[in-house]
Amino acid sequence: MSEPAAEGDYRLLASETVYDGRVISLVRDTVAMPGGGDSVREVVRHPGAVAVVALDEGDTVVLLRQYRHPVGGYLWELPAGLRDADGEPPLETAKRELAEEVLLAAERWSLLVAYFSSPGFCDERISVYLAEGLSAVDRPDGFTVEHEELDMTIDRVPLAEAVQRVFAGGIRNPAAVVGLLAAARYRAGGIELPPVDAG
């Protein structure tokens, strides 16, 4: 969650929908400033997403190589997906995405961290989960692999190697960067994780 502003500060004066798409919408908000006057903010509204650090008993993590059109190339990422199923809690979305993308289920789930991906212009909130006690499962009924997912590569690498890839610039997806560093720090000990349903 975010810390709320003081009462009366940053009041929303007007909001206009500029674009309403399949995943995102763009609104133009007019906001009263605490020092007087107002300012216009263009805000991308997003349903949110989840990502999963899936670690097996050998401390290897599941990574995906997926083409991302906005950056014009492939990125190494965690299993992840949009929170686009109405009313589905984030943890259930994470479980579904893990099964859909990499055919895995997990015995134990923990919330590592939840963060805003780019709060200067977007309200997208990403919840990153740690999945342990992995086992193979069938792809969920009704799910069809299509588009970029047909071209995905799945790999398992030691967590320490994945962290090194972050610092070497080989992993640049923000959910993967945050999730891998958080998982490595948690595994080092001394960290208390938030409640799993706080995502």
Cβ neighbour number for residue 71 with a 10 Å cutoff: 10
Residue 116 parent element (H or E): strand 104-116
Catalytic residue, chosen from 57, 77, 92, 149, is 149
149 is catalytic: yes
Cβ neighbour number for residue 167 with a 10 Å cutoff: 10
- Check: CB of residue 50 under 8 Å from CB of residue 94: yes
Terminal CA-to-CA distance of the chain, rounded, Å? 9
Residues carrying an active site annotation: 149
